[in-house]
Structure 1
Amino acid sequence: MSTTSGPLPAAAAARGSGLSPAQLAALRPHIVNLRDGKLATGPGGEGELYTTLQDLDDLFTRHLPAFTGRGGTVPLVLFAHGGLVTEANGLRAAHRQIPWWKANGVYPVYFAWETGLVPALGDALAGWLSGSRGLGDVKDRVVEVAARFGQGRRIWEDMKLDAEAAVADGGGALAFADRLGTYLNQRPGSVSVHAVGHSAGAIFHSHFLPAARFSGVDRVESLSLLAPAVRTDLFKEKLLPEVGRSIGRVDLFTMTEESEKADNCARIYGKSLLYLVRASFEPEEKAPILGLQECIEADDTLRTFFRPAGTGLPAEVVWAPVEAGPRNSSKATSHGDFDDDRATMSSVLRRIVGRDDVEELPGQRSRATTWQAAAPAAPEPAWPRDATRKALCIGIDEYPDPRDQLAGCVADAGSWATELERAGFAVHTVVNAAATRENILLRMLEMVSGSVSGDVLVIQYAGHGTTAPDLDGDEAASGQVGNTEDEALCPVDFRSGELIIDDDLGLVWDVLPEGVALTLFFDSCHSGSAQRVVQSLEEEARAAAEDAAKGVKRRYAVLAAEDRRQFRRCRGYDDGSAAGARRAAASTQARARGPQREVLFSACRPDEFAFEVAGHGVFTTRAAPLLGAALGRLTNEQFHAQVADGFDARQHPELHGPVSGRGRILLAVASDGAVSVPAAGGMVPVSPPPSADVSMPVPARTSEARAAKVAALLRAIADVIED
Structure 2
Amino acid sequence: MPEPMPPTTRQPPLSPSELDRLRPHVVNLSGGKFSSSGVFQTSKKDVNAVFATHLPAFVAEHGGVVPVVFYAHGGLVGEQSGLRIAATQVEWWKSNGVYPIHFVWETGLAGAIAGAVGDWAQGRRGWLDEAKDRVLELAARFGQGQAIWGQMKRAAEAASAGDGGARYVAEALGAYCTAHPDTISVHAVGHSAGSIFHSFFIPAALKAGVPAFDTLSLLAPAVRTDVFEKQLVPLCGQEVKLLALFTMTEKLERADTCLGAYGKSLLYLVRASFEPEEFSPVLGLEECLRADPVLSRLFGLSGASGGIADIIWSKATGGPLTNRSTSTSHGGFDTDIPTMDSVARRVTGSSRIQSFPITRSRGDELWPVPGPATPRRAGTHHALCVGINAYPGGDALYGCVADAEAWAAQLTAAGFAVRTLLDAEATRQNILLELLDLVASSVAGDVLVFQYAGHGTYVDDLDGDEAESGNEEKKYDEALCPIDFREGNLIIDDDLGEIFDQLPDGVSLTAFFDSCHSGDGQRRLQLLPVDVEDLSTASAPHGRRARYVIPDKETSEKYRAKRGAPARAGKRALAREVLFSACKPTEVAYETGGHGDFTVAASLLVVPSANRLTNGEFLAKIREAFSSQPRQNPDFNGPRAAKSRVFLAPLVAAAAEPTDRPPGTASGTIPAAITALLDPAASPGGGTDALAASAGTAGSASVAASREADALDRARAAAAFLRAAADFIDG
- Contact 1:526–1:608 (Cα < 8 Å) also in 2: yes
Does the alignment pair 1:532 with 2:533?
no
Matched residue, 1:674: 656
Given that residues 9 and 365 in structure 2 are in contact (C-alpha distance below 8 angstroms), is that contact kept between their aligned partners in structure 1? no
Task: Give the conservation status (yes or no) of the 8 Å contact 1:491–1:498.
Answer: yes
1:612–1:618 contact (8 Å) kept in structure 2: yes
Deviations 1:346-374 (A, max 9, x none): 111111101122222223133344424x5
| Equivalent position of 2:337 in the other structure | 342
User: Does the CA contact (< 8 Å) of 1:13 and 1:119 recur in 2?
Assistant: no
Q: SS of the counterpart of 2:451?
A: strand
Q: C-alpha distance in 2, partners of 1:484/1:158? A: 33
Shift in Å, 1:481: 5.1
Q: 1:298 aligns with which of 288, 291, 298?
A: 291
Task: State which of 109, 121, 141 in structure 1 corresponds to 2:113.
Answer: 121
Match of 1:214 in 2: 207
State the 1:201 CA deviation: 0.9
Alignment of structure 1 residues 293-332 onto 2, 5 Å:
293-306=286-299, 314-324=308-318, 326-332=321-327
Name the structure 2 match of 1:470: 461
Alignment of 1:93 with 2:80, yes or no, is no
Higher relative contact order (CA 8 A, sep 6+): 1
Superimposed CA distance per residue, residues 428-475 of structure 1 (whole angstroms, 9 cap, x where no aligned partner): 222233322222212222222232333221111112223334332333
Distance 1:142 1:296, change over 3 A: same
Q: Verify: 1:639 aligned to 2:633, yes or no.
A: no
State the partner residue of 1:657. Answer: 638
Aligned-partner Cα distance in 1 for 2:492–2:415: 30
Counterpart residue type for residue 465 of structure 1: G
In 2, Cα distance between equivalents of 1:554 and 1:656: 22
Instruction: For 1:297 and 1:240, locate their aligned partners in 2 and report how far apart those are by CA, in whole Å.
Output: 16
Which sits farther off after the overlay, 606-615 or 458-467? 606-615
Structure 2 vs 1, CA of residues 118 and 557 (structure 1 numbering), >3 Å: closer, same or farther? farther
Contact map agreement 1:482 1:531 (CA 8 A) in 2: no
- 3-state SS, counterpart of residue 639 of structure 1: helix
Name the SS of the counterpart of 2:585 in structure 1: coil
How far apart in 2 are the matches of 1:195 and 1:332?
20
Aligned equivalents of 1:19 and 1:478: distance in 2?
Answer: 63
> What are the within-5 Å matches in structure 2 for residues 409-558 of structure 1?
409-476=400-467, 482-526=473-517, 530-533=527-530, 544-545=537-538, 547-548=539-540, 551-558=543-550
**What residue is the counterpart of 1:697 in the other structure?**
none
Matched, 1:354 2:349: yes
Shift of 1:12: 7.1
Q: What is the rounded CA distance, in whole Å, between the counterparts of 1:478 and 1:443 in structure 2?
A: 35
What is the CA-CA distance between 1:248 and the residue it aligns to? 0.6
Q: Paired residue for 1:610?
A: 589
Residue 387 (structure 1) shift: 5.0
Q: Which residue of 1 aligns with 2:390?
A: 398
Asked if the contact 2:298–2:306 (Cα under 8 Å) also holds between the matched residues in 1, the reply is no
Deviations along 1:245-299, one digit per CA (max 9) or x if unpaired, are: 1111111111122221221114301111112112222234433222122222333
Kept in 2, the 8 Å contact 1:394–1:461? The answer is: yes
Q: Which amino acid is the alignment partner of residue 665 of structure 1?
A: V
Task: For residue 674 of structure 1, give the secondary structure of its aligned residue in structure 2.
Answer: coil
> 1:320 offset after TM fit, Å?
1.3
Please report how far the alpha carbon of residue 69 of structure 1 lies from its aligned counterpart in structure 2 after TM superposition. Answer: 2.0
Distance in 2, Cα, partners of 1:477 & 1:51: 58
**CA spacing shift, 1:664–1:549, aligned 2, 3 Å:** closer
Q: Match of 1:199, as an amino acid?
A: S
Q: Can you give the 5+ residue segments of structure 1 that lack an aligned partner in the other structure? A: 574-583, 685-723
1:213 positional shift: 1.8
- For the pair shown, which has the larger CA radius of gyration, 1 or 2? 2
SS at match of 1:56: helix
Is the contact between residue 126 and residue 376 of structure 1 (CA under 8 Å) also seen in structure 2?
no
Q: Shift of residue 665 of structure 1?
A: 2.4
Identity, % of aligned positions: 50
The 1-side partners of 2:164 and 2:550 are apart by 37
**Pair 642,631 (structure 1): closer, same or farther in 2 beyond 3 Å:** same
After alignment, is 336-345 or 606-615 more displaced?
Answer: 606-615
Q: 1:627 aligns with which of 578, 586, 606?
A: 606
Q: Which residue is equivalent to 2:680? A: none
Secondary structure in 2 matching 1:294 = helix
Q: CA deviation at 1:25?
A: 3.2
Q: Deviations over 1:144-193 (max 9, x none)?
A: 22222121222112222222222332222222212211211111112111
Instruction: Confirm or deny that 1:564 pairs with 2:556.
Output: yes
Task: Quote the offset at 1:14 in angstroms.
Answer: 11
Which of the numbers 125, 137, 143 marks the counterpart of 2:130?
137
Name the CA distance, whole Å, in 2 between partners of 1:534 and 1:348. Answer: 65
Q: Are the structure 2 counterparts of residues 665 and 591 from structure 1 closer, same or farther at C-alpha, using a change threshold of 3 Å? A: same
Cα offset, 1:91, TM superposition: 0.9
* Paired residues of 2:544 and 2:592 also in contact (CA < 8 A): yes
Within 5 Å, which residues of 2 pair with 1:181-200? 181-200=174-193
For 1:594, the aligned partner's letter is A
Correspondence 1:245 to 2:226: no
In structure 2, relative to structure 1, the CA distance for the partners of 1:271 and 1:589 (3 Å cut) is closer
CA deviations over 1:504-536 (Å, ceiling 9, x no partner): 112112211233222110111228852424977
SS in 2 for 1:474: coil
2: CA distance, partners of 1:91 / 1:331: 24
The answer to whether the 8 Å contact 1:527/1:608 transfers is: no
Tell me the distance in 1 between the aligned counterparts of 2:154 and 2:446: 43
1:670–1:238 distance in 2 versus 1, CA, 3 Å: closer
Q: Which amino acid aligns with 1:391?
A: A
Deviation at 1:404, TM superposition (A): 3.4
- Report if aligned partners of 2:601, 2:625 keep a CA contact under 8 Å in 1: no
Q: Residue 75 of structure 1 aligns to a residue in which SS?
A: strand
Amino acid at match of 2:570: R
1:674 maps to a residue whose letter is A
Deviation of 1:81 after TM superposition, in Å, equals: 1.1
Gaps of 5+ in 2: 520-525, 660-701, 710-731
Kept in 2: contact 1:226–1:254 (CA 8 A): yes
> Contact 1:225 / 1:252 at 8 angstroms: preserved in 2?
yes
Superposed CA deviations along residues 66-101 of structure 1, whole A, max 9, x for unmatched, are 222222111111111111111221011112211211
Find the counterpart in structure 2 of residue 272 from structure 1: 265
Aligned to 1:147: 140
Q: Cα distance 1:465–1:21, how it changes in 2: closer, same or farther (>3 A)?
A: farther
CA separation of 1:52 and 1:475: change in aligned 2, threshold 3 A = farther
Q: Find the counterpart in structure 2 of residue 701 from structure 1.
A: none
* C-alpha separation in 2, matches of 1:508 and 1:386: 20
* Amino acid across the alignment from 1:320: S
Distance in 2 of aligned mates of 1:312 and 1:589 = 32
- Provide the aligned C-alpha RMSD in A: 3.2
Query: What is the aligned partner in structure 1 of residue 67 from structure 2?
Result: 75
> What is the DSSP-based 3-state SS (H/G/I as helix, E as strand, rest coil) of the residue aligned with 2:384?
strand
Figure out how many residues of one structure are paired with residues of the other and give that number.
651
One-letter identity of the residue aligned with 1:92? R
- Which secondary structure state, in structure 2, belongs to the residue aligned with residue 460 of structure 1? strand
Distance in 2 (CA, whole Å) between partners of 1:318 and 1:526 is 52
CA drift of 1:202 comes to: 1.0
Is contact 1:11–1:122 with CA below 8 Å preserved after alignment?
no
Conserved 8 A contact 1:525-1:604: yes
Which whole-Å CA distance do the structure 2 matches of 1:312 and 1:96 have between them?
37
Aligned AA (1:84): L
